[in-house]
């Protein structure tokens, strides 16, 4: 009986050992399967990836960094494009629109510095001429004709402008050009008044006035009748000046400038007929000066 019981116990223990080994073997087998599945899953998820075969996450982190780099490069690239876009406006030579008087004057002077040649044409007209003691000479056509003969090409160039010369300023655009309009202040003077004063790039100086007045005298009394102006006693007033300037938006170069103005001359004169007696010659003329620039 005891022998049978011992056999039974031995058999049971053997069975326990068998099942124990089986259990261990079962645990090992799924582990291998999981390892293989894990490897297949990773290979399938990231085909051709550089992930280390050991499963080290360093490779995964490196891949993540590499994936981020194009994004960062794109962001940097976009920023650089924007910077280049802003810079291209500057390098293209584009000129900012001068919206106030100071900016307009600056652009005019900058454009003037780029001028290499100037052709100037003057169109002038006498609107009033009066010689005291003789009367109003408006009816004398030859006097006006003589004054108008001063029209034509003249050797006069533009000069710089200051904000103090300008009473008002406006700007418009025409194609690829800025068209700036400067209204000039009234300027008065005598024989010391020179071209360019107050933005009046051209007018009849006192020397030219003397010539015109003498021509008027000859129209009145013939070639023997001389009228000599006293330059130190006579005055010139320039008024209603308007300077219109065309400047290229891209190059900042000035292609054209037109000056319109009225000149009022009060000349104190002596004539060969009246001896030392002084008479007053009042002349009012309008001028239009066109500057073509390169």
Least confident of 24-33, 48-57, 73-82, 262-271: 73-82
Residue 14 has pLDDT above 90, yes or no: no
Least confident range from 109-118, 172-181, 187-196, 276-285: namely 276-285
How many residues are present in the chain?
Answer: 294
Write down the pTM of the prediction. Answer: 0.65
**Who has greater pLDDT, 184 or 136?**
184
Mean pLDDT over 180-205 rounds to 96
Q: Kindly tell me if the per-residue pLDDT of 50 is higher than 90.
A: no
181-197: average pLDDT? 96
What is residue 130's predicted lDDT score, i.e. its pLDDT?
A: 60
- Residues 264, 237: contact at Cβ < 8 Å? yes
Of 22-26, 99-103, 137-141, 181-185, the one with minimum mean pLDDT is: 22-26
Residue 269 bridge partners (DSSP): 229, 279
| Cβ atoms of 177 and 246 closer than 8 Å | yes
Distance of CA 279 to the CA centre of its chain: 53
Q: Across residues 21-32, what is the average pLDDT?
A: 42
242-254 residue pLDDT tens? 999 999 999 999 9
Residue range 246-264: mean pLDDT, rounded: 97
> Is residue 33 pLDDT above 70, yes or no?
no
Looking at the chain, the whole-number percentage of residues with pLDDT higher than 90 is 44
293, two tokens: 């620039």
Strand partners, 287: 124, 261
Q: Is pLDDT at 238 greater than 50 in this prediction?
A: yes
Write down the pLDDT at residue 23.
37
State the average pLDDT over residues 181-201.
96
- 143 or 66, higher pLDDT: 143
Distances in Å between the Cα of 61 and the Cα atoms of 46, 65, 141 are 13, 6, 99
- pLDDT for the residue numbered 112: 98
Contacts of 241 (CB under 8 A, 6+ apart): 183, 184, 185, 186, 187, 198, 199, 200, 259, 260, 261
pLDDT digits (tens, 9 = 90+) for 68-98: 444 444 444 433 333 333 322 333 558 999 9
Average pLDDT (221-239) is: 88
Q: What is the mean predicted confidence (pLDDT) over 35-40? A: 40
Reported as a single tens digit per residue, the pLDDT across 66-75 is 444 444 444 4
Alpha-carbon span 41 to 47, nearest angstrom = 10
């Amino acid at each position: 009986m005891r022998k049978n019981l011992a056999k039974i116990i031995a058999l049971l223990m053997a069975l326990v050992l068998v099942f124990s080994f089986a259990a261990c073997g079962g645990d090992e087998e799924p582990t291998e399967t999981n390892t293989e599945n894990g490897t297949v899953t990773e290979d399938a998820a990231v085909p051709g990836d550089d992930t280390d075969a050991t499963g080290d996450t360093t490779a995964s982190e490196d891949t993540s960094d590499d994936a981020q780099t194009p994004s960062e490069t794109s962001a940097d690239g976009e920023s650089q494009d924007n910077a280049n876009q802003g810079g291209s406006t500057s390098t293209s030579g584009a000129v900012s629109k001068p919206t106030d008087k100071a900016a307009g004057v600056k652009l005019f002077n900058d454009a003037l510095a780029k001028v290499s040649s100037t052709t100037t044409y003057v169109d002038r007209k006498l609107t009033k001429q009066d010689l005291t003691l003789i009367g109003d000479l408006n009816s004398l056509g030859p006097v006006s004709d003589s004054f108008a003969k001063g029209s034509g090409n003249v050797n006069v160039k533009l000069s710089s402008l200051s904000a103090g010369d300008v009473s008002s300023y406006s700007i418009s655009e025409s194609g690829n050009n800025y068209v700036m309009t400067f209204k000039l202040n009234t300027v008065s003077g005598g024989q010391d008044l020179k071209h360019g004063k107050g933005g009046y790039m051209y007018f009849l100086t006192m020397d030219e006035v003397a010539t015109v007045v003498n021509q008027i005298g000859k129209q009145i009394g013939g070639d023997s009748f001389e009228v000599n102006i006293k330059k130190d006693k006579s005055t010139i007033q320039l008024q209603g000046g308007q300077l219109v300037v065309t400047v290229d938006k891209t190059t900042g170069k000035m292609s054209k400038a037109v000056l319109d103005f009225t000149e009022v001359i009060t000349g104190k004169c002596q004539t060969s007929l009246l001896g030392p007696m002084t008479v007053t010659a009042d002349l009012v003329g309008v001028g239009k000066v066109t500057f073509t620039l390169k």
